[in-house]
Amino acid sequence: MNFGFSEEQNLLRDQVVRFMTEACPMTKVRELSNTPSRFDADLWQQMADLGWLGLTIPEAYGGLELKWVDLTVVLEETAAGLCPLPLVSHALSCAAILECGSAAQKSQWLPALASGEAICTLALYDDPNWIDAAAIKATANLEDGKLMLAGVKPFVNDAMSADYFLLAVYGPDGLALAAVGKEQVTVTSQPVMDQTKAVGSIDLNGVTIAHDQLLPMSPDQLSYLTDCGAVAITAEMVGAANAILQLTSEYAKERIQFGKPIGQYQGVKHRLAEIFVDVESFRSLCYYAAWTVDDARDELPRAASLAKGYASDAFAQIGIDGVGLHGAIGFTAEYDAQLYLKRSKWARPMYGDSDFHLDRVATLGGL
């Protein structure tokens, strides 16, 4: 039994922190937030060179063959600086191909993902707030020996930077992921509250794909990818929540009112302590869930739901209180606290909010 990071994982963490400080500081994040894609090819290539893009890809396909615990380290620290690049979408695409792809499909796509040549994203559900196979509306029907797609995928993360999309559809044999290239479809960028995240809709109507562009997906696999999504988003929430805690905590030490730092007043310091309790707690649940992805998959559904169920509400309140404890300065666009509040709103429904996850915990626990 050992619930700590290895020496290598700590070095990886140092590397990500250094990268964020040097290559992707908040000035860069704000600059990218003003572009439609929130993407930077140079930064992406640096990430590929550091091996981050092939972290969970087997060595046979050009990756490092590490685990989700390692991925968690990268997602946590990049999210601490609100890095807008499509790391979560990328990691989930890798998981989807590894899980649902044939040997040929893996050989075809994974090496390009590991090297950073191709950017891919994943979109599962078509309902704004429903995690269920029935919330997938898009279809792929057989017509003249080809697969004709129909429907609109309304919530595709990182749609404007991706070269390829893995989109959940109902195919001739049931659930599947349709692998579609960006040149085949119309992508419409959507304005979204968190400007560090890019979302687009994809119109699939009239698009045809070849049979080898379809990856069959069982309901269990859909559930697995949803859980992976919940773990990845929670890892980002750990990093972002801790960052706004540190920002607010430092401010409370410096801001003087009534002759004392505001952190001396229990109304402020106790709320900071409670935020620490929450971040510590969903951090522990997140690390455990990340470990189950590779090492105890039977426990993943409950572990992922415990982590995302905790983080969804806790981070939302942390975002609000992080801004609120700052007073008026926290409300300004120029100050960074507000960006974390927006991230907390963005992360809440992704791969299930607390209503979904806690109800699942109740079901899995026998209620």
Partner 1 sequence: MDFDYTADEQTFREEVRSFLREHLPPKSDRGKDFIHTWLEKVRAKGWIGFSWPKEFGGSDGGLIEQAILKEEMALAKAPPLGTSFMGLAWVGPGIMKYGTQAQKEKFIPDILDSKVTWCTGYSEPNYGSDLAAIQCKAVTDGDCYVVNGQKIWTTGASWSDWIILLVRTGFDGASKHDGITCLLVPMDSPGLEVRPIENMAGDKHFAEIFFTDMRVPVENRLGDEGEGWNVTISALANERSSIGEVTQMFDKLDRLKILVKQCSKQGKPASADPIVRRTVASFEMKIAAMKYNGLRYLTKQIRGEPLTSETSVNKLHRASLEIEMDDFALQLTGQSGLQLRGGESTVDRGVWSKSALNWPNVVIGGGTPNIQRNIIAERILGQPKD
Q: What is the contact surface with partner 1 in residues (CB under 8 A)?
A: 1-6, 9, 69, 245, 249, 252-253, 260-261, 263-264, 266, 268-270, 272-274, 276-277, 280-282, 284-285, 287-288, 291, 295-296, 306, 309-310, 354-355, 358-359, 361-362, 365-367
Task: Kindly tell me the burial class for residue 173, based on how many C-beta atoms sit within 10 Å of its own C-beta (0-12, 13-18, 19 or more).
Answer: exposed
Q: 189 or 257: whose CB is closer to partner 1?
A: 257
Q: Which is nearer to partner 1, 145 or 365 (CB)?
A: 365
Q: How far is the CB of 261 from partner 1 (least distance, A)?
A: 5
Rounded least distance, CB 308 to partner 1, Å: 10
CB of 180 or CB of 323, closer to partner 1: 323
Q: Are 202 and 165 in contact (CB under 8 A)?
A: yes
| Closer residue to partner 1 in complex, CB, 14/280 | 280
When the beta carbons of 8 and 49 are compared against partner 1, the nearer one is 8
Question: Smallest distance, Å, CB 250 to partner 1?
Answer: 9
Tell me which amino acid residue 158 is. D
Least distance from C-beta 271 to partner 1, angstroms? 9
Spatial neighbors of 322 by CB under 8 A, at least 6 apart, are: 244, 245, 247, 248, 275, 330, 337, 340, 341
Cα→Cα distances 304→107, 355, 366, Å: 29, 14, 17
Smallest separation, CB 99 to partner 1 (Å): 22
Q: Are 71 and 51 in contact (CB under 8 A)?
A: no
> What's the first-to-final CA gap in the chain, in angstroms?
30
Shorter beta-carbon distance to partner 1: residue 187 or 361:
361
| Token reading at 173 | 């044999």
Task: Give the closest residue to 210 by CA, choosing from 163, 106, 140, 124.
Answer: 140
Q: Least distance to partner 1 from the beta carbon of 3, Å?
A: 4
Apex 356 CA angle, 317 and 125, nearest 5: 110
Burial class (CB in 10 A: 0-12, 13-18, 19+), 359: middle
Distance between CA atoms of residues 238 and 24, nearest Å: 19
Cβ distance to partner 1 smaller for residue 188 or 284: 284
Q: Cα separation of 187 and 167, whole Å?
A: 13
Residue closer to partner 1 (CB basis): 58 or 261 = 261
- Burial of 193: CB neighbours in 10 Å, binned 0-12, 13-18, 19+: exposed
Give kind and range of the element (H or E) at residue 88.
helix 87-100
